[in-house]
Structure 1
């Protein structure tokens, strides 16, 4: 079974061209699945797997208090795996057909207020190269709504300051062009002239836009630590994640009258229903404002 998982992983990487993080998720989910199957006595091969075995595995996940979102992700991974096995004639049937995914509990994304965004953007110490870098990263995130994986993947050639846009490669290696405003342009110019030059390493050449103190491209973990420190500095009490600025970007655009399709394109959502959740956020915020300020609320 583990050999088939290796073949499937290779298929996802080479033929489907999935991003590294997505690939890791598939591997993690299917390792749990295969470990479960290996403990079922009557199963000698993947061709012996029946629908009831998958249902039992999902029940096991539920007993482990896994969220509906986690279970739904496992279902998607299992479906893709069995479809691959059937396509490659490793098995002669697909036990995942007609398998139902759990109902997702759709929670509204947490967003920052304009005041909180301002406080966060002002938190970095821009008298140092690292502070200039941190300020530029935050400004780009809020100006474009790109994902953190896309942010740290930016190369110098992806930024076109005279034209006022950033080019990024998103999920499925899809390219998108996102405009940036004057503030982000000015901050980025300052970083490139006075920050990045000092962070560059003389030993090796790295074209990554955002460098760490060793002169290498910044990692996701590195950005997490930076953001956590800056949120404390800005005295933001909300739980802040790298995705919070993305959520705030979309919500603030829609609150100010932006077209939903335009926001979808900038975020890189394949389905507009994913973007529509931000319209619910804006309605909720309007209700909060009404309740707080209307004399007869």
Structure 2
């Protein structure tokens, strides 16, 4: 098959295939498109194209990215996108070879995720009960924080929860995650209570809106914005405000930090790594293994308390 001349067609076809065949999430598709657009622009500046790029040119592009001061993780992600693009092109018959197949990337910095102590999480939860312009805002904020910490959801999963998932005082929530994969996560008693309280207020507001001929929302956390639900950015700002109110540095707290806290506290409490992988919605347990740093103290105490030679030390 003849390769397209237009680089935009290369990117669009590749991204479409990722979505159709692998269930790539929208954010993943956008990230692929941004990275490949940058690579395509660089190739154009060198008088080349996706169809004619060589291994030397790809490696030169990576050197260019390094010279720009891009982080190692960013450079690794861009190379990954390029490799996948050329694997797709080879399978489609657009290229007779994959020029990126033997290129070794810079790897990724192995950094421990930022997390919070149990006491800091408690302070955030308390701040949520008092932060907001109205009683309804405070109830909603409490529900958001309780459900996020109880389930370890991604923020995109939380803000876009359908209201149907909260009906009937559920003990488990059905979450649709990356690639439209579904998983069940349990709710703590505090989260269930906060959810029920918010749902009652939300339904009252929806009923009042219907009386004024306003359309009902399908989302648990509705908004008048284009998305129809609370945005990730708005929730990000809310979490920063709660951190300040709780006396915690806002640099330390993001919605994703609470996801890390969920996993870290579960593992520290004795939860199985595979169970945490399932709850977080990680496709590979290797992604979850970054949390095993919290096991160090527990494993040391286990050896000191139970090994037959430990008492002789």
Q: TM-score of the superposition, structure 1-length normalised? A: 0.89
- Three-state SS of the structure 2 residue aligned to 1:168 is strand
Structure 1 residues 10-19 or 140-149, which shifts more? 10-19
> Unaligned 5+ residue runs, structure 1?
288-297
2:273 aligns with one of 247, 250, 260:
260
Structure 1 residues 123-132 or 72-81, which shifts more? 123-132
Q: Which residue of 2 aligns with 1:230?
A: 242
Distance (Å, rounded) in 2 between the aligned partners of 1:224 and 1:218: 10
2:220 aligns with one of 203, 206, 209:
209
Determine if contact 1:159/1:167 at 8 Å carries over to the other structure. no
Q: Which residue of 2 aligns with 1:192?
A: 199
Q: CA deviation at 1:250?
A: 0.5
Alignment of 1:58-137 (within 5 A): 58-124=62-128, 125=130, 128-137=135-144
Distance (Å, rounded) in 2 between the aligned partners of 1:270 and 1:38: 36
Q: CA deviation at 1:111?
A: 0.8
Distance (Å, rounded) in 2 between the aligned partners of 1:81 and 1:139: 41
Distance (Å, rounded) in 2 between the aligned partners of 1:30 and 1:147: 26
Q: Which residue of 2 aligns with 1:239?
A: 252
1:8-39: per-residue Cα shift (whole Å, max 9, x none)? 22222334331111111001100110001101
Determine if contact 2:172/2:186 at 8 Å carries over to the other structure. yes
Distance 1:267 1:101, change over 3 A: same
Distance 1:212 1:199, change over 3 A: farther
Distance (Å, rounded) in 2 between the aligned partners of 1:277 and 1:13: 27
Distance (Å, rounded) in 1 between the aligned partners of 2:112 and 2:64: 28
Structure 1 residues 274-283 or 115-124, which shifts more? 274-283
Q: Which residue of 1 aligns with 2:231?
A: 219
Distance (Å, rounded) in 1 between the aligned partners of 2:288 and 2:296: 14
1:76-117: per-residue Cα shift (whole Å, max 9, x none)? 111111111122222222101112121321110111111110
Q: CA deviation at 1:212?
A: 3.1
Does 2:72 correspond to 1:27? no
Distance (Å, rounded) in 1 between the aligned partners of 2:86 and 2:241: 44
Distance (Å, rounded) in 1 between the aligned partners of 2:18 and 2:286: 26
Q: CA deviation at 1:233?
A: 1.2
Distance (Å, rounded) in 2 between the aligned partners of 1:12 and 1:30: 14
Q: TM-score of the superposition, structure 2-length normalised? A: 0.85
Distance (Å, rounded) in 1 between the aligned partners of 2:19 and 2:283: 20
Distance 1:284 1:272, change over 3 A: same
Q: Which residue of 2 aligns with 1:293?
A: none
Distance (Å, rounded) in 2 between the aligned partners of 1:54 and 1:63: 14
1:54 aligns with one of 46, 54, 58:
58
Alignment of 1:269-284 (within 5 A): 269-283=282-296
What's the RMSD between the two structures over aligned residues? 2.2
Distance (Å, rounded) in 1 between the aligned partners of 2:241 and 2:170: 33
- Three-state SS of the structure 2 residue aligned to 1:166 is strand
Structure 1 residues 176-185 or 189-198, which shifts more? 189-198
- Three-state SS of the structure 2 residue aligned to 1:97 is coil
Determine if contact 1:159/1:165 at 8 Å carries over to the other structure. no
1:145 aligns with one of 130, 133, 152:
152
Determine if contact 2:263/2:291 at 8 Å carries over to the other structure. yes
1:133-177: per-residue Cα shift (whole Å, max 9, x none)? 111011011000010011112101223554401110111111000
